[in-house]
Amino acid sequence: MDYFNYKKGGLYAENVPLAEIADAVGTPFYCYSSATLERHYAVFSESLAPLDRLVCYAVKANSNIAVIKILAKLGAGADVVSEGEIRRALAAGVPAKKIVFSGVGKTAAEMGFALKTGIYQFNVESEPELFALNEVAESLGKKAPIAFRVNPDIDSGSHKKISTGRKEDKFGIAFADVQNIYDKAKKLKNIEVKGISTHIGSQIMDIAPFARAFAKIRELAEELKAHGTNIERIDLGGGLGIPYYGSDNPPSPRDYADVVKKVMHGLDCKFIFEPGRLIAGNSGILVSKLVYVKNSGGRIFYILDAGMNDLIRPSFYDAYHEIISVKKSTAKKQLVDIVGPVCETGDVFAIQREMPAMKPGDLVAFRSAGAYGATMSSTYNSRPLIPEILVQGGKFAVIRKKLTYDEILASEKIPGWLK
Ligand code: LLP
């Protein structure tokens, strides 16, 4: 459920016509709906009641500080994977005490920054990382609160590039090594063991892999506790899928919460969750303009002003995004290829997609582009990052401006010896 609907013949974000935003800021642009972000957060968090819980929004999905701010105001924490993301979360008003730091390659500098800030938890993914963290904490005279991210060796059934919980994946501590690493951690003076974490993948469309992974984590928690290890927090990661196609039917937050409650029943712990896509995915769209209609090789190409550098998911994961005309159209449908302007054969958003006849200047909207859209964009082909817009009710604001070419070029320098 989202707040992008047709009214008076055109697509709106809440109460703002997208055509009006396009006139004001140009195209392409990302547009986010505050009401949708708020709704998704509330539905997720409330489904998990009455568990003692902390919902840490996975900032990587959409890291604009205005988006994080909306969630922070509702009480969300943040799941971060870099110093940059910690800085964003703090700038948006997330208290350090609600930040969990994930990732396989945290550097000493990043750990030091996080320790000084006083974050809630490090999710440690390897033995070398554990020792590095202990050293950094010692040098700062601090104790680092940790959970080990455990790899439960469960196939999430999602795309291979976004599955993280199989033993061949780079993430987490292999199940067989878990007892051993907790024993090592307990002996380190600047490490404080708090719990277990796991995250098995993203865009997961079936509840069964969650249930299997959570059952393994529950059993592990009991074993560790029996062994005298302090397990007071369990971080179950993110990963719940969202509908991209009309026919997609992911588990609902309630289905997910029911599994968590059933599997974890009676376990005296605080539960942490790291949803990203579920909160942001359907809260955002990408609006782009048709530049040319090209007939070639027996095909019709809709060439847009947005490219793979703005939204890489279709090229990178063969991901499907619904693409609709911003002006409600009754024109006859035809099969077209929808492509970007980037000089790459892979700069294709949709192949042989049924679309109404359209003409240059018409606007299209990519649905479900609020997660892993703007955050994965690049300036390839020297295309400036596009603006991000936030709508709330009848008003909108630019929450990331487009840099001018002068601003972009000013950050580069020709060394003296080349002049
Ligand atoms: N926690 C950890 C440790 C993660 O690695 C991720 C996502 C999340 C939470 C949030 O997962 P979510 O709830 O959003 O599924 N770029 C890909 C998705 C990559 C996900 C990476 N990790 C895409 O566009 O589909």
3-class SS at 34?
helix
3-class SS at 26?
coil
Does ligand 1 lie within 6 Å of residue 40's CB atom?
no
**pLDDT tens profile 348-373:** 999 999 999 999 999 999 999 999 99
Fold of 4-32+281-410: Lyase, Ornithine Decarboxylase; Chain A, domain 1 (2.40.37)
| Catalytic positions, written as ranges | 343
CATH 3.20.20.10 positions along the chain are: 103-273
**pLDDT tens profile 36-45:** 999 999 999 9
Does ligand 1 lie within 6 Å of residue 253's CB atom?
no
**pLDDT tens profile 202-225:** 999 999 999 999 999 999 999 999
Q: Which atom of ligand 1 is nearest to the CA of 203?
A: 15
- Which residues are within 8 A (CB) of 395 and not within 5 positions of it... i.e. 6 or more apart? 16
**pLDDT tens profile 34-79:** 999 999 999 999 999 999 999 999 999 999 999 999 999 999 999 9
Adjacent-strand bridge partners of 101? 80, 122
Helix (H) or strand (E) holding 317: helix 313-317
Q: Is residue 197 a contact partner of residue 150, using CB atoms and an 8 Å limit? A: yes
Q: Answer whether residue 249 shows pLDDT above 90.
A: yes
Does ligand 1 lie within 6 Å of residue 277's CB atom?
yes
Cα 352 to chain centroid distance, Å, stands at 28
Q: Using CA atoms, how far apart are residues 312 and 318, in angstroms rounded to an integer?
A: 9
**Mean pLDDT value of segment 237-243:** 97
Q: Lowest-pLDDT range, 68-77, 163-172, 201-210, 374-383?
A: 163-172
Pick the CATH number of 103-273 from 3.10.130.10, 3.40.50.970, 3.30.70.890, 3.20.20.10: 3.20.20.10
CATH 2.40.37.10 positions along the chain are: 4-32+281-410
Q: Which atom of ligand 1 is nearest to the CA of 371?
A: 24
Q: Using CA atoms, how far apart are residues 376 and 134, in angstroms rounded to an integer?
A: 32
Q: Using CA atoms, how far apart are residues 63 and 70, in angstroms rounded to an integer?
A: 12
What is the pTM assigned to this prediction? 0.97
**pLDDT tens profile 152-163:** 888 877 877 777
Measured in angstroms, how far is the CA atom of residue 393 from the centroid of ligand 1?
Answer: 29
Does ligand 1 lie within 6 Å of residue 61's CB atom?
yes
Mean predicted lDDT score pLDDT of the chain: 96
pLDDT at 168: 78
Q: Which atom of ligand 1 is nearest to the CA of 278?
A: 13
